[in-house]
Structure 1
Amino acid sequence: MIQLKTKAIVLAALALIVGTNACKPKNAGTAVSSDAASKTYVAPGKYDEFYNFVSGGFSGQLSVYGLPSGRLLRVIPVFSVDPEKGWGYSEETKPMLNTSHGEVPWDDLHHVQMSQTNGEIDGRWVFGNGNNTPRVARIDLATFRTAEILEIPNSGGNHSSPFITENTEYVIAGTRFSVPFDNANGDVPIDSYKENFKGSISFISVDKESGNMDIAFQLHCPGVNFDLSHAGKGKS
């Protein structure tokens, strides 16, 4: 009887081992022993190879991630107040959020673009749009802070921007929705759309040294809606 019990225990143990191995997922050993984590590890005090500038959308801010580590290095306040950094609260930064409509302490930041020289990214500035109240911001990469915010006239929704020419001569912005231009007298009835509603494409000049922006000129276009585009390079 003792011998039979011993055999039964041995058989049960073998069955358990076989069953356990059968349930083991394929490549489980590879997942455990893989060096994927070591490939993305960047030690404290060391620099990532690349930096990813990510639009914050409805937060109105700009995030900076290091790659390959994936570390969040900084959230740069742009179009929205940021109590942590005092953005929009200090006397220095309050005016940054003023517009022709008064203070607008929020916006929807889209489409991050970097300055270029000869069609290649040069790492001087980052530009982003404010989709709500039509604005374009310039972030200085020497300080990782917002240096300037420019409001765009004759524009309704600034989704169609910013598009950078190959030597950062211009930041180009198109109105998302056709609107009566700012010099229209009073309200304009919607049934006068064909006569009074226009589209605009703004060319914003960028000073080569300081980066300061200014409206250079605008193209007044028929009442169409503009959206994503890209500035050409070379002969294009």
Structure 2
Amino acid sequence: MKKIKYSTLALLGLALVFVGCNDAGKSSNGALSSSAAEKVYVAPGEQDEYYAFLSGGYSGNLTVYGLPSGRMFKEIPVFSQFPTSGYGYSEETKPMLNTSFGFVPWDDLHHPDISQTNGELDGRWVFVNGNNTPRIARVSLSTFETEEIIEVPNSAGNHSSSFITENTEYVVAGTRFSVPVPQRDMPINEYKGNFKGALSFISVAPEDGRMNLEFQVMMPGFNYDLSRPGRGNSHGWFFFSTYNTEEANSLLEVMASQN
């Protein structure tokens, strides 16, 4: 009886050895496997291959991450006060948050776009928009600090921005919602035909990046969502996605879906 028990235990142990060896030979595709971790590992003293500039939405700030490591390098205050650095409180930075509506120390930051030369990113500045109080900001990529903010008139919801032409001649900014131009109080049922969509072209000085609203193109009173300036052979063309071309003002889910 003891011999049978010993034989059974020996066979069981041998089977476990084979199973263990077989499992050890299998590769794991899990997130914690060594191969996955190695792909994003950046050793101390070494640098990430890329920087990612991510919009902060209602934080009003721009966040910088390293890729592939995913390490957060810096949160750059733009449209919001930032007590850690004193941004928005100091004599140098507080005036940048003044608008025609007064002091507005918050916003909904969208769509970072980096300055370009011949259609290639040149790493001088990154431009971002303020979606609530229509603004465009310029952040230096030498200092990772906000250097300038400009307000965009005749705009409501500065969403289709900030998009850069291939040599950073202009930052293009389109209004999300059309407005009466010149702006005035009027009944919403008179919206159709009386509201205009302003497409703003903000020039950028090549030496120091200073921005200036050069001109605006008044378009039909649609909602302008996103934009993309042309590159190469299509340089000088601008492409805007729109909705509510019906210029509806009620039951938008139905009335703005007719065209």
- In the superposition, the TM-score normalised over structure 1's length comes to 0.88
- 134-143 vs 74-83, which deviates more? 74-83
Q: 1:120 to 1:31 in 2, by over 3 A?
A: closer
Aligned pairs for 1:2-151 (under 5 A) are 2-14=2-14, 16-17=16-17, 26-28=26-28, 34-151=34-151
Q: Is the 8 A contact 1:188 1:196 kept in 2?
A: no
Please list every run of 5 or more consecutive structure 1 residues that lacks an aligned counterpart in the other structure.
Answer: none
Partners of 1:135 and 1:48 lie apart in 2 by 31
Structure 1 residue 31, shift from structure 2 partner: 8.7
Partners of 1:131 and 1:31 lie apart in 2 by 36
1:232 is aligned to 2:230: yes
Partners of 1:224 and 1:7 lie apart in 2 by 84
Partners of 2:52 and 2:75 lie apart in 1 by 12
Q: Is the 8 A contact 2:31 2:37 kept in 1?
A: no
Q: 1:33 to 1:143 in 2, by over 3 A?
A: closer
Partners of 1:34 and 1:204 lie apart in 2 by 48
Matched with 2:191 is 193
- 217-226 vs 25-34, which deviates more? 25-34
Provide, for residues 40-66 of structure 1, a one-character-per-residue CA deviation record: whole Å limited to 9, x for no partner: 333333322221111112222111112
Q: 1:13 to 1:71 in 2, by over 3 A?
A: same
Partners of 1:225 and 1:32 lie apart in 2 by 45
Partners of 2:224 and 2:183 lie apart in 1 by 21
Matched with 1:155 is 155
Partners of 2:161 and 2:203 lie apart in 1 by 14
Aligned pairs for 1:146-185 (under 5 A) are 146-181=146-181, 183-185=182-184
For 1:208, the aligned partner's letter is: P
Identity of aligned residues (%): 62
- Aligned-pair RMSD on alpha carbons? 2.6
